Amino acid sequence: MQLALDVTMSNVQVVERSSSELDDIDALVRTYRPRLLRFVTFSIGDPDLAESITQDCFLKAYNGRDKFRGDCSVNTWLTSIALNLIRDQQRLQKFRFWRQARATAIDVSDAANFLASHESSAEARILAIERTEQVQAALANLSVNQRAIFLMRFAEDMDLSEIAATISMPINTVKTHLHRALKAVRAEVGR
């Protein structure tokens, strides 16, 4: 009984903390923008459009913060909003996204300079960039859902149930998408 009460109290505290977190838009942006921008950018392949969608996502989250029930993390909630915005954008763009966006593709080669130099050697950083570009190339050939699910798993580090809830799919469908995406990525990397 006491344990159940404690669990309920901790849930209430989590909801309250998350709600107050959503009230401060500056803190919200500071905390979640890099992750969200990455998810959107590598989902659609267009950095400029990703900036715009990310901003819309934060505005939508802030204006709709009363609807946040606290049954998932703020990051998961933001990701689901971003996913809906990406889908809206896809409908507008008639699925022209990624292939057309290749002309203005994300250049991660500069990112080698942003990696902490004390954590890895120059060779390791170059290898990391090379692998990233390979994954990026593989992502371009994935379906929209495969790409989103892959990013949620391997970039956002979300578990299967979280991904299924965010993308509103059965968990077995999520697994199928992940298996296919992984095979494609590993094939690209193994070339």
Which residues lie near other proteins (CB under 8 A)?
Answer: 25-26, 29, 33-35, 37-38, 41-42, 47, 51, 54-55, 58-59, 62-63, 106, 108, 110-112, 114-115, 127-129, 131-132, 134-136, 153-155, 157, 159-160, 175, 178-179, 182-183, 185-186, 189
**Minimal distance, residue 34 CB to other proteins, in Å:** 4
CA distance 111 to 22: 30
Choice between 55 and 90, CB closer to other proteins: 55
Choice between 51 and 88, CB closer to other proteins: 51
Q: Which two tokens stand for residue 120?
A: 């890895």
Choice between 6 and 130, CB closer to other proteins: 130
Question: Residue 102 carries which DSSP code?
Answer: G
Query: What 3-state class would DSSP assign to 190?
Result: coil
Alpha helices, DSSP H only, in the chain? 2-23, 25-44, 47-63, 74-93, 97-101, 111-114, 122-140, 144-154, 160-167, 171-189
Question: Are the beta carbons of 188 and 137 closer than 8 angstroms?
Answer: yes
**Minimal distance, residue 46 CB to other proteins, in Å:** 13
**Minimal distance, residue 35 CB to other proteins, in Å:** 7
